[in-house]
Structures are given as structure tokens and as C-alpha cells.
Amino acid sequence: MVLTRSGRADSLEETPWQTARREAREEIGLPDIDQRLPAPFRVEHLCELPAHLARTELVVRPCVALLHSYDETTGKNADPEISLIPRLDAREVAAVFTAPFHNFLMIRDEHRVADGSQAPPGKPEDWYEGAWVDWHESEWRMHQFFVPISEKSVTKPKARSRDQNLAVSKLEEQEKSGQLTRYRVWGMTARILVDIAWLAYDQEPEFEHNSHFGDEEMITRLRKMGRLSSDRKPGDQLTRETMQKAAKLT
């Protein structure tokens, strides 16, 4: 399964799905036209979720797609992790890592060891941390997941310039020294993953969470106030005062 979210649109005419495919091409080398994918791979656009809002006035429309690795016509099958190795841009991505999707509904990490058996359960805080924060004039649940890393679960870009080499080397030094044993998934990315897993498995998370998806209502109110336009100014940020005014609009 491919989970992508839109980066900055190149134009007002570009759809969220077109933006998501372009960003996936630029960041991990996934072709944005299916004819360029090696057989038997193809990408199926499944759905788009309600938009999310960041304090920096960034609106993100999550796009969900399925990466097919089996061709019913030819019977050809392939392993994406072997046959479709990401080609990463170190200017955009420090590393690509994997985690069991269902785990984003769990309070403990249900990872498995090399022989396929389930590893001993760790402490909940090893995998998940959550907290309620004051946002949108209401309580908002923020999630943090800590994904264990290994050589098999991480792909890193090949550095093609001095700046890229510095970015990759810094990450590798932290891992080799033992300072970095897990990657943190947090903020808007974590909330989007929880939403998608909740819908995909039709199963509520084990941890506390908001009952709604996305921020469409607040986004509509802010646009009525003239915010969230395509013309961004340096330092634009949603303040508590702005959110209070928007909350009062009908």
C-alpha cells in the first residue's frame, strides 16, 4: 500500500492526486505515469480523505493508493521491496522506512522477529505516546509513534552532492552510535496515518483519539475570513486569536 500526501501544488489547476503522484516521483522515484512502472506494478487511486490543517496555514489533502504487484492477466507477481527499490532524493528525503500499517492503531508494536514469530511485547511508551492539546478551540489528540529501525527496514538515498552527503552522513552517524534506534512519526503525518488505518481496518485505535476526520469545517471558516489563500506571506501563522474568530463564524 502506498500512503502519500500532497506537497505544494505547482498550480491551482493541479489536483491533490496529481500533486501526490508528482511528489512521490520527486521524493522516492515512483513514476507518476503507470506506463513507466516496471511490470507487473501499477498504482490504483483508492480515495482522498478530509483535509488537515497545520498552524503554518498549510492544508494537506491525504491521498491513498494501492501499489499492485500482481498482474491477473499475465499471472506475474513481484516483491516491491526487491523489484521496485526507491530512488531517493537526499535533498527531500533522509530515509524511507517501513512499519506494519495495523500498528498505527495499536498501543504496542506488534513487530515480528526474523523467524516470523512475534517478538516479546515492549512497554507501550516504546511504540506510542499521545497527549491532548488545545487546538481549534477544542481538545485535539496528538500522536507519536516510534518505529524500530534495522538495515532491512530502511532505504537511504545515494548522495550526489556535498550537501546531500552531509545530510545522509549525519543520520548514519546517529544510528551507528546508538543515539538513534527508532524513527519518530508525529504531528500531522501521525494523525493522517491513524485516520487511514482506522478506515482501512474498520477498527478504532486502542488509544484515545478524536472522533472526527480532518479539519474541513475549520478550513471553510478560515477561508471565509480570507485566510489560506494561494498568496502566502512570510511568517503567516494561525494564532489563537485567529482561531477564536474563525470558531465564532457560522
Does 22 reside within a domain?
Answer: no
Give the C-alpha separation, 17 to 45, whole Å: 8
Reported residue count of the chain is 250
Closest CA to 50 of 144, 191, 244: 191
Whether 155 is in a domain gets the answer yes
Rounded Cα–Cα distance for residues 213 and 211 (Å)? 7
Using alpha carbons, select from 161, 124, 162 the residue that is nearest to residue 143. 124
Q: Is residue 29 part of a domain?
A: no
Q: Report the domain count for the chain.
A: 1
Range of the domain at 153: 93-214
* Domain annotation covers residue 14: no
Kindly tell me the burial class for residue 52, based on how many C-beta atoms sit within 10 Å of its own C-beta (0-12, 13-18, 19 or more).
Answer: buried
Residue 78 resides in a domain: no
Instruction: Answer yes or no: is 242 within a domain.
Output: no
What is the distance between the alpha carbons of residues 23 and 18, in angstroms, rounded to a whole number?
9
Amino acid at 147: V
Report which residue type is found at 227: R
Domain contains 69: no
Identify the pLDDT of residue 58.
84
pTM score? 0.78
Q: How far apart are CA 52 and CA 219, in angstroms?
A: 8
Q: Is residue 173 part of a domain?
A: yes
**Residue 199 confidence (pLDDT):** 92
Cross-strand pairs, 48:
63
Strand partners, 42: 68
Q: Is-cis flag, bond preceding 40, omega within 30? A: yes
pLDDT computed for residue 143 by the predictor: 96
CA–CA dist 196, 176 (Å, integer): 33
How does pLDDT run along the chain (250 residues), one tens digit per residue? 444 444 566 666 789 999 999 988 888 888 888 778 888 999 999 999 999 988 778 889 999 999 899 998 899 998 877 777 677 777 777 778 888 899 999 998 875 544 444 544 556 568 999 999 887 667 889 999 999 877 666 777 665 566 666 666 666 666 666 667 888 999 999 999 999 999 999 999 999 999 888 889 889 988 888 888 777 676 677 888 888 888 888 7
The grid coordinates of residue 127 equal 511504540
